[in-house]
Amino acid sequence: MAGPSRGEVRVMDAVAWPRMQLRYRLTQGGRTLEQREESISDRNYLDTSSGRVSDPLRYEKNMLEAWFRDRFGGGRPPG
């Protein structure tokens, strides 16, 4: 994911919330346990706070971390 370049402005509003289409495969020992395609979005992204104030992709990262917790349980995704 690439964020805005220096000098670009990102306008945040309640109409254009973050959304993504994900395709993933969960494997173990070379065997596919689950394979899905999902759409995720966060209509309430402006109501959530983050410690990453200077990160231009903080809303998307929060959305992905919440999806990961909901889908797989536990803490933050690896990486």
Does residue 19 contact residue 40 with C-beta atoms inside 8 Å? yes
pLDDT band at residue 2 using 50, 70 and 90 as cut-offs? low
Given the structure tokens 């919440």, which residue do they identify? 66
How far is residue 49 CA from its own chain's centroid? 14
Position 27 scores a pLDDT of 94
DSSP annotation of 8 reads -
Query: What average pLDDT does range 15-30 have in this prediction?
Result: 90
Q: What is the pLDDT of residues 40-66, one digit of tens each?
A: 988 888 787 666 677 888 888 888 988
Does residue 71 contact residue 22 with C-beta atoms inside 8 Å? no
Please count the CA atoms within 13 angstroms of the CA of 75 that sit on its side-chain side.
Answer: 3
